[in-house]
Structure 1
Amino acid sequence: MTRETTDDHPDADATRRSTGSPNRRARSALNRGTGLETIKVFLGDHAVSDRMDVMMSTTLGSCVSACIHDPVRGIGGMNHFLLPEVPESELSGNGEAARYGSVAMERLINALLCAGAERRRLQVKLFGGARVIDSSYDIGGMNSRFALDYVRAEGLILTGQDLGGASARRIRYFPHAGRAMRRMLNPTMVVDTITQEHHFMSNLRRGPIDGPVELFIATDTDEG
């Protein structure tokens, strides 16, 4: 079942092209069901747009996405991160630190400001942070607490949250209107990706992970 988390914002002219993160792993395709250009935002990505014909999509287990909107400018963006703070061992990496919340939030906000948004108007919705793997290491809870603390510390406006629980989520975000929709997923739908996340976390305990990581990648039958 899909749930809308906000009301529609009145439409306005939108001409700015969608943009992905510096590592360019966000993927765009036409969604046949909605007729909208859909940007799939993977781990370490962010995307920003003010176009009325754009939808952003991601799937979250332990990860968290922030959907941030300037209602006056009619522009919004989404990110996707796995861990709260970037370790010192990865500070000199080539963009991969964006899978950490402290970097992901800064990059998304900066991208919005560069596109004409104003910080004082930014409205934030937070999603994800589930406990989808059987482990004493509750990374979903850590991500949720980090995201909420970040919004408070930065003086941003929190307008919605859907965090925690034990189920993965699929998020659709309409950046021009600032509207988001959430669908809870049956564990059988994401069993392979939950296994990938567990494997990633196990490797992380032994040392830093090099290179890009893509979790919760949609199948050919899933249009986001």
Structure 2
Amino acid sequence: MTGRHHHRQRRATHDAAIADHGVNSRRYRDPRFEEIAVKVFPGEHHVTASNEMLVTILGSCVSACIRDPLIGVGGMNHFMLPESNGGAWDGVSSSMRYGNVAMERLINDILSRGGARERLEVKVFGGGNVMKSSANIGHRNAEFVEDYLCAENLKITAAHLRGTLPRRIHYFPATGKVLLLELRHAEEQAVFSSEANYKSKVQSDPVAGSVELF
């Protein structure tokens, strides 16, 4: 086992506790889908073995939706910046805003619950340049997640990355299905402000517009 993978395994129990912390305040009944939904905010991840629907809104952020289809365990993360060399920003949970930390913890959490790397199904979304900026943080996030998964020899089975519009993601780990809705330009500032404040508002309004399936 490599040092990197060993480090992941040692943090498995702690990471699972971080993922479950405060989850009850993010869980709600979605009448449209007749499912229990869990909001995944920036800097967080959630892994489940039940028929939950994981929901998030992405501007420049990226979410990876990963599952082991054989055992029915899967989850979603939501990260804001590509990579942290120091490993922490303002405590353990806040470091999840970095892509390398968020990806390691999501994968590690699934493996700790019986998942196998060779079976992982990976879908990635987000990374839009929703605000005019020379930093192009959204596209940098998209490039990071592609490079990370390539380096880890994990194949991307579906993706919807880059562009200029925010996205709303509904992920069903039990089946692997993803519903994606690109949001209107008028909603860009609200999404950007939410990400800047390290929060995201997932509304329970009816989904409108064109929904893509992955």
Does the TM-score normalized on the shorter chain lie above 0.5?
A: yes
Q: Deviations over 1:121-155 (max 9, x none)?
A: 11110100001001101001110010001111011
Q: How do 1:1-224 residues align onto structure 2 when only pairs under 5 Å count?
A: 21=19, 23-24=21-22, 27-52=26-51, 54-88=52-86, 90=88, 93-197=91-195, 200=196, 213-214=198-199, 216-219=200-203, 221=205
SS of 2:50's equivalent?
Answer: coil
1:116 CA displacement: 1.2
TM-align CA RMSD:
2.3
Q: How many angstroms apart in 1 are the aligned matches of 2:97 and 2:129? A: 18
Q: How many angstroms apart in 2 are the aligned matches of 1:67 and 1:106? A: 13
Q: Which amino acid aligns with 1:179?
A: K
- Larger proportion of helix: 2
Number of corresponding residues? 191
Go from structure 1 to structure 2 and tell me whether the alpha carbon gap of 1:69 and 1:193 turns closer, same or farther (over 3 Å shift): same
Go from structure 1 to structure 2 and tell me whether the alpha carbon gap of 1:220 and 1:77 turns closer, same or farther (over 3 Å shift): closer
1:220 CA displacement: 5.9
1:82 CA displacement: 0.3
Instruction: Please list every run of at least 4 consecutive aligned residues from structure 1 whose deviation after the TM superposition is greater than 4 angstroms.
Output: none
Structure-1-length-normalised TM-score: 0.78
Q: Contact 1:19/1:47 (CA < 8 Å) preserved in 2?
A: no
Q: How many angstroms apart in 2 are the aligned matches of 1:221 and 1:81? A: 24
1:93 CA displacement: 2.1
- % same residue: 40
Q: How many angstroms apart in 2 are the aligned matches of 1:157 and 1:110? A: 17
Listed as ranges, the gaps of 5+ residues in structure 2 are 1-15, 208-214
Q: Contact 1:20/1:48 (CA < 8 Å) preserved in 2?
A: no
Mean Cα displacement is larger for which, 187-196 or 108-117? 187-196
Structure-2-length-normalised TM-score: 0.81
Q: Deviations over 1:58-91 (max 9, x none)?
A: 0000000000011111221100000011253835
